[in-house]
Amino acid sequence: MLRVIIRFLGLLLLAAAFAALVIDGTKSIASDTLIVTPLAQIAEQLAPAKFPLLQGAIESRLGHFAWKPVATTLLALPGWLIAGAFGGLLFAATRRRVVKVGYSSR
């Protein structure tokens, strides 16, 4: 049951990544320049009151070294890339193993 839930969450993340990629592509075509929406901008639009608290929460739980090199780099990447990567990881982690027919492990 847990595998189904995690796989569904991965599928939702992959769908969100595809939608974000289409939105960025549409904006790029309309403006004749490459437009890539970073994850920080998406997170700030989704939760404007909580986004400023993100730096303090990461630094207090993981330390100062986790904010500057790690979190700022991840937040600068395109939103579709991060959502697609996490969705793909969840989807791949819950796939069933292929049973080898006629194989004996004795």
10-residue mean pLDDT profile of the chain (106 residues): values are 93 96 96 95 93 90 87 94 96 85 70
Six-digit token string for 12 = 């939702």
pTM of the model: 0.81
Core vs surface per residue 81-103: b (16+ CB within 10 A) or e: bbbbebbeebbeebeeeeeeeee
pLDDT score for 98: 80
pLDDT for the residue numbered 27: 96
**Separation of alpha carbons 89 and 20, rounded Å:** 18
Give the residues across from 78 on adjacent strands: 38
First to last CA, the chain: 32
